[in-house]
Amino acid sequence: MEQADLQTILSDSRRIVFFGGAGTSTESGIPDFRSADGLYEQRTSKTYLPEEILSRDFFMEHPADFYAFYRTHMVYPEALPNAAHRALARLEQEGRLTAVVTQNIDGLHQLAGSRSVLELHGSVHRNYCMDCGLKYPLSAVLRDPRPVPLCTACEGIVKPDVVLYQENLDTDLLDRAAFAIEQADTLIVGGTSLTVHPAAGLVSLYRGDKLIIVNRTPTPLDAYANYISDGNVGDVLGSLYPR
Ligand code: ZN
């Protein structure tokens, strides 16, 4: 389909929902953590994969190693929103987009001005003491010179409010995401192959007839899409608002 078709689909839309993943932020310089090298553990002579490091068990057993990986590969404090984030914020401001549902934890949608953002996997910008619950901004986690950031009030371990492997997603957030997708007149899937649970299940709740998929690789829903692009999310959505 031509780009003009995407313009037409969106111009008639009043309840757009965007469902996004890592590909939405690659143009902001944030790589998919699954592409990162693992972590070599000298004590055990074992190399851990990113998925193992980002698990609840690993965090509890090796918090310093977790943070060594996390601070290097998961946090990009200098990253800025790209054309995709800006276009989505604009669609919301125009009253045509009801929610951004994202698997990303970088907070770039909010930085671009989006307000209705459902962060399924949490955010690096929220952190809390596991003992007393005191909250900390990202800067506290990055500036703490110790291998593991500790609570200034009780010395408890500070944990990012990020959903690790082996942890459950917030059911209230899931409900809100499901509701938004069920009510959507247009669903844009961007930068995700829909393989990480519960992405495919959530997206399958969409009942409308305007499904747009922008992803580098095929997704299980390609056969149902009204518009497909294997381009960058920023290029495709950014073209809606040429500067
Ligand atoms: Zn504390």
Within 13 A of 118's CA, how many CA atoms are on the CB side? 24
Please identify which of the residues 85, 121, 125, 197 carries the catalytic annotation: 121
Q: How far is the centre of ligand 1, averaged over its atoms, from the C-alpha of 154 (Å)?
A: 4
How far, in Å, CA of 164 to CA of 121, rounded?
A: 8
Q: How far is the centre of ligand 1, averaged over its atoms, from the C-alpha of 122 (Å)?
A: 20
Beta partners for residue 227, in sequence order: 212
Asked whether the CA dihedral 122, 123, 129, 133 is positive or negative, the reply is negative
pLDDT digits (tens, 9 = 90+) for 153-197: 999 999 999 999 999 999 999 999 999 999 999 999 999 999 888
**What's the CATH fold of domain 3-29+77-121+168-238?**
Rossmann fold (3.40.50)
In this structure, are residues 16 and 91 in contact, taking their beta carbons and an 8 Å threshold? yes
Active site residue 121: yes
Which pLDDT score, from 0 to 100, does residue 37 have? 73
pTM exceeding the 0.85 threshold for the entire prediction: yes
Q: Which of 16, 6, 9, 5 is nearest to 186 (CA)?
A: 16
**What's the CATH fold of domain 123-162?**
SIR2/SIRT2 'Small Domain' (3.30.1600)
Q: How far is the centre of ligand 1, averaged over its atoms, from the C-alpha of 152 (Å)?
A: 7
pLDDT digits (tens, 9 = 90+) for 220-237: 999 999 999 999 999 999
List the chain pLDDT tens, one digit each, 243 residues.
445 588 888 988 999 999 999 999 999 999 888 777 777 777 777 888 999 999 999 999 999 999 999 999 999 999 999 999 999 999 999 999 999 999 999 999 999 999 999 999 999 999 999 999 999 999 999 999 999 999 999 999 999 999 999 999 999 999 999 999 999 999 999 999 998 888 889 999 999 999 999 999 999 999 999 999 999 999 999 998 876
Domain boundary assignment for the chain? 3-29+77-121+168-238, 31-75, 123-162
46 CB neighbour count, 10 Å cutoff:
11
Q: How far is the centre of ligand 1, averaged over its atoms, from the C-alpha of 158 (Å)?
A: 8
Give me the percent of the chain exceeding a pLDDT of 70. Answer: 96
